[in-house]
Structure 1
């Protein structure tokens, strides 16, 4: 190894050591502040520490505040740092002190406030006053698990915010949170299903306008991107149930009726869609119907035909996956599942 490479390794190690030392110093300073602050004598943390129960189906059991599942931060998939305040703070003051970004590294970062005199947690709003705060960063998403550097940046961003609003954060142990992040990321990786069927033409090619016409009969509507159609969710504002895509250049051509396409892809992001939407059943029905009406064959990504028996097996495995996600309190289509699998 060259002297230059050794220099890079040493520099990187010193940088990481410096970040870790700063985190430890901030934690020590905050503990000292909490011991001396008179208002902390009767302070009750708003979030209880999550505890790992490795003997019950490898699931995590958490003691959560009320309500158990709120739209914002949740101990199931977030690192949460309670922030004590000496007095209620206005929403305007909190908004002015907010970090410029809602992400730390590849992870969503958020600060919530407890509305003064209520049990409602929300992102700070003008015209409200807040008696307690909490900062959080997501443990894992499709970019991977929270790492040491992201945790350290989360601590620094939260501390900077607290210095501006006069808050005292109480950060959880980094090593425990990183371990939780890796465990959750492993679970998510093992249970992340994104299905796709490819409909291939047997003989004559299809035009883009013909594909759009046939898909519209099955409830597909134009998506925001060229060459993409979707089946909307039954509830507004949620991800589509299914998507259908084909070559975008053909969709943008001056005469879509004369384009020549030989394949269409049907896709389902399982964790993003509520089980009650019957997404796979509808995906299967759409694929079979389109194949029959357009003289095509349903295959996988590698061009292997998918007979009814293969589709039955996929449906059985998906039913088991839905059950597993629900048991973990990450039911497909739920707020938490959509956040984790994103």
Structure 2
């Protein structure tokens, strides 16, 4: 073999090796980021005393990856005060319900009889239908309970929700359900005027439509996509837990029974993939359903802090749902507008996170 042939062979080998190395590097660069194995503390030596405590995977407030002011506790409270505990059963409220009292002529009805007389479905069209009784012992209104006794009853239907206002057809169905319930117990319902209540429903719906807010920030990968495991790991460090739906995580409220403070959603197809490690997620959405969460839980501040924290550790960019980058001053302006919305809801006895607001904005 001549020197020229040897030189060409060597050059070809080097070129081929370079191409293979470049392809390998490029493939690794395009591969979704995988969760990093958590570092575990070393096992104590035999006889070594172990101090009591609870290990946490959450970043601390001193972690340089977090924006100042980020509170890592899932249920942390602001200086405004504690978040009210949820009511087990939101009571009928004249502000957002049509209520028909049911006269019993001095009789007392058992909870067992009231439960047996309830309609098969608790909805009128798209609106919740409810019955309450006044407990003889506590004198409190409550959903009928077996073994209890009631000296007064009332039936109600919600005036509006996110599907729209109560209409004439739904009102007529409400009257039929309430009348059937009352007849089964020998009671006499007194219904308010239909036209007045339907007009009230439209007014309430108009207010709700102009004061509803569901905020969403999109986090987009700058260079490298994420695997579902990587997303779960980073979100879990900030207090998120897996939701019931694939591709959804939630930041739970401190009090059980309350709606989650924040939501996190990514493509469910990636979560359901047969090979999730190779599933590429290029964006995720962080959301806040404003009327569902009490302002004392700092929901917007936590949405902002979570977005910045994830953007830092996941090498992502915060944008709106159209893909336009959201700068810090733009996000702060949204927070200022939101404070005014909270004040308006408070002034109308529909404070965000209250049972009335959670029902109206649902």
Fold match by TM threshold 0.5: yes
Q: Indicate whether 1:108 and 2:132 are aligned.
A: no
The residue number in structure 2 matching 1:81 is: 100
The residue number in structure 1 matching 2:68 is: none
Deviations 1:270-317 (A, max 9, x none): 110111111111111111111122111100110111001110110001
Give the number of the structure whose alpha-carbon radius of gyration is greater.
2
Q: TM-score, normalised by structure 1?
A: 0.78
Q: Indicate whether 1:127 and 2:147 are aligned.
A: yes
Provide the C-alpha distance between the structure 2 equivalents of 1:197 and 1:205, rounded to a whole number of angstroms: 18
Runs of 4+ in 1 over 3 A off after TM superposition: none
Deviations 1:231-269 (A, max 9, x none): 110111111101111111211223322211110110110
The residue number in structure 1 matching 2:15 is: none
- The higher relative CO (CA closer than 8 Å, separation ≥ 6) is in 2
SS of 2:154's equivalent?
strand
State which drifts further: 107-116 or 248-257.
Answer: 248-257
Provide the C-alpha distance between the structure 2 equivalents of 1:295 and 1:130, rounded to a whole number of angstroms: 61
The residue number in structure 2 matching 1:320 is: 340
Q: Of the candidates 317, 324, 329, which is equivalent to residue 297 of structure 1?
A: 317
- Structure 2, unaligned stretches of length 5 or more? 1-88
Q: Of the candidates 269, 272, 285, which is equivalent to residue 292 of structure 2?
A: 272
Q: Indicate whether 1:172 and 2:155 are aligned.
A: no
Provide the C-alpha distance between the structure 1 equivalents of 2:177 and 2:332, rounded to a whole number of angstroms: 49
Q: Of the candidates 271, 288, 301, which is equivalent to residue 308 of structure 2?
A: 288
SS of 1:198's equivalent?
strand
Q: Indicate whether 1:93 and 2:101 are aligned.
A: no
Cα deviation, residue 71, structure 1:
2.8
The residue number in structure 2 matching 1:60 is: none
The residue number in structure 1 matching 2:253 is: 233
Q: TM-score, normalised by structure 2?
A: 0.74
Deviations 1:46-105 (A, max 9, x none): xxxxxxxxxxxxxxxxxxxxxxxx831010100000101021111111111111110000
Query: Counterparts in 2 of 1:198-217, with a 5 A limit?
Result: 198-217=218-237
Cα deviation, residue 117, structure 1:
4.7
Query: Counterparts in 2 of 1:178-193, with a 5 A limit?
Result: 178-193=198-213
Query: Counterparts in 2 of 1:139-150, with a 5 A limit?
Result: 139-150=159-170
Identify, as 1 or 2, the structure richer in helix: 1
Provide the C-alpha distance between the structure 1 equivalents of 2:178 and 2:237, rounded to a whole number of angstroms: 51
- Number of corresponding residues: 273
